[in-house]
Amino acid sequence: SAVISQKPSRDICQRGTSLTIQCQVDSQVTMMFWYRQQPGQSLTLIATANQGSEATYESGFVIDKFPISRPNLTFSTLTVSNMSPEDSSIYLCSVQSQVQFFGPGTRLTVL
């Protein structure tokens, strides 16, 4: 199993600002995933982050808006840049080890 922590757990931000979300895993993993869950919706994959290489973004998500860092095998950050109210969502970090494990999520509200 994997234990995943995220910081912050929630935040309220002003439009036009940026927020960096941190994800820490208790074991080394090759791939880490970032998901978004908009209000009342299911999860959508934003990008896959491998250590030592650029993140791979899904259709509809771009690096300028959601830059990702993956400095080592247990840590990753996702930045939500130049935020607008439409970015209000829960952002979840995930790793896969047979079963897919998820962090507790970061609830972001943009005013």
Partner 1 sequence: KQEVTQIPAALSVPEGENLVLNCSFTDSAIYNLQWFRQDPGKGLTSLLLIQSSQREQTSGRLNASLDKSSGRSTLYIAASQPGDSATYLCAVYSSNTGKLIFGQGTTLQVKP
Least Cβ distance, residue 3 to partner 1 (angstroms)? 11
Distance CA 25, CA 27 (A): 6
CB 34 within 8 A of CB 46: yes
CA-closest candidate to residue 27, choices 3, 48, 51? 3
Of 37 and 81, the one with the shorter C-beta distance to partner 1 is 37
Give the residue, chosen from 42, 60, 85, 111, that forms a contact with partner 1 under the rule CB under 8 A.
Answer: 42
Radius of gyration over every alpha carbon of the chain, rounded to an integer in angstroms: 13
Residue 59 binds to partner 1 (criterion: CB under 8 A) = no
Give the residue, chosen from 53, 64, 85, 98, that forms a contact with partner 1 under the rule CB under 8 A.
Answer: 98
The token pair that represents 63 in the structure block: 């690096």
List of residues contacting partner 1 (CB under 8 A): 4, 33, 41-45, 90, 92, 94, 96, 98-105, 107
